[in-house]
Amino acid sequence: MNKIHQISAEHLAIEQIGEIIKNGTKLELSEDARKRIIRCREYLDNKIKESETPIYGVTTGFGSLCKISIDKDSLSQLQKNLVMSHACGIGDRVPNEIVKIMLLLKIQSLSYGYSACQLKTIERLIDFFNNDIYPIVYMQGSLGASGDLVPLAHLSLPILGMGEVEYKGEIFSGADILKKMNWDAIELVSKEGLALLNGTQNMNAFAVWALLQSERLSEWADIIGTMSLEAYDGRIEPFTHAVHAVRPHKGQIDTAARIRELLEGSELIKQPKVNVQDPYSFRCMPQVHGASKDTITYVKSVIDIEVNAATDNPTVCPDEDLVISAGNFHGEPIAQPMDFLAIALCELSNISERRIYKLVSGTRNLPSFLVAKPGVNSGFMIPQYTAASIVSQSKTYCTPASVDSIPSSQGQEDHVSMGANAATKLYQVVLNTERVLAIELFNAAQALEFRRPLKSSPMIESIHQSYRECVPFIDTDEFMAPHIAKSVEFLRK
């Protein structure tokens, strides 16, 4: 039996989202959410009947066409046209896992009762989520200003019987999937198209996904860095609590404590050391890994707010008897943090690559390129090249997207966040960081075996043993790419 998560106004934590996606949890609306949705829709319907004043996006056109009033008989067509005309995405597909987070975030945002969607529209989005029907959404096209107009248009088209979806590994048209599931196409009413398309759910879904991966990769960075420290015959003194107590950044203190914990019971760390100091990539792990931890914590606090917010426009407030056109769709509050998170993750890969370089450098009684007979064998020479290439690419991705703006809609939308570009760049940096850490693990596990018969700590030895079940010790040159791929998979288990 699948678990059920009730959509409500209760706080939705990022960890909950991760569990919902991972466990295949189904969604349903709470009774309170249903009442909020119905009440807001009824309020707007009455407002349209009673008011002769134009309401942006409800009885007017969109963007620079906001001065054009729309007659009541055309309000439904206006919303349908909006969704169709805004579906201009291109490029690679957004991965299904992130599309599913988009659906969840859109459902959550619309459920607060500030968007004036029909109940049946939100319930159809839930149908898509619960049946693992993934609308085809594209990476490119959003300015992150009036929300994620383009990707959210692609997300919404299939409930109208248009666009495309992936279902059970096959591609269906929107019309065909509705027919297959015996569902009617949704007929949009006033403001609904705008509610579906305005909002930050595309870039926010990338941010949620990236944060879930970031916390995992931050943990792995400490573990793999500690294995490399042991393999490099490094010193424990730089991780002493007294050092970090006088510069008490939380991430720094936590990283030093974690590395001390990982080293408990190690024979290698206790043996007398010839070298007085270690290179920064080993010695400064608390400072560098810790700074990334602190950034992850900050970004998480911002994205947590965004997850639990209504971000479409106009905002419909029945209690205050207000329909206000403002700017909650603007992506700037999360665009800057996503750029920051990309930098934090890039630094985890940057320092990781430097440790890889030291491990293959033929110093501290390790063989050149970590093979017993270098020369005939290139050994681990080229995995370091690969890591360096990946890190260099990530550095280019870390040029902030959020500092750019190109005016659109005839100047009405004259400042945009480029948050969707920040999101897709962040996605690539996450993947790149995972790959570099996997390559470091590949190297560190190899180097550790040249320290035998001395052993590392029980924790590190246990991880090393588990890793050896899928990636072997390299005695002579082999086809290395499959081992790197398996190393990446190991980090995902």
Active site residues: 56, 86, 198, 280, 283, 329, 413
Q: How far apart are CA 77 and CA 463, in angstroms?
A: 59
The two three-digit tokens of residue 92, written as one number = 């690679």
Q: CA dist 268 to 364, 413, 457, Å?
A: 13, 61, 8
Q: How far apart are CA 321 and CA 148, in angstroms?
A: 27
**Are the beta carbons of 379 and 371 closer than 8 angstroms?**
yes
Alpha helices in 131-191 (DSSP H): 149-156, 174-181
**Are the beta carbons of 119 and 186 closer than 8 angstroms?**
no
- Helix (H) or strand (E) holding 173, with range, is strand 170-173
Measured CA angle at 205 (ends 407, 322), to 5 deg:
65
Q: What residues pair up with 135 in beta bridges, in sequence order?
A: 165
Q: How far apart are CA 342 and CA 350, in angstroms?
A: 12
> Residue written as tokens 């390790």?
366
Query: Cα 312 from chain centroid?
Result: 21
Q: How far apart are CA 312 and CA 333, in angstroms?
A: 14
The two three-digit tokens of residue 354, written as one number = 């430097």
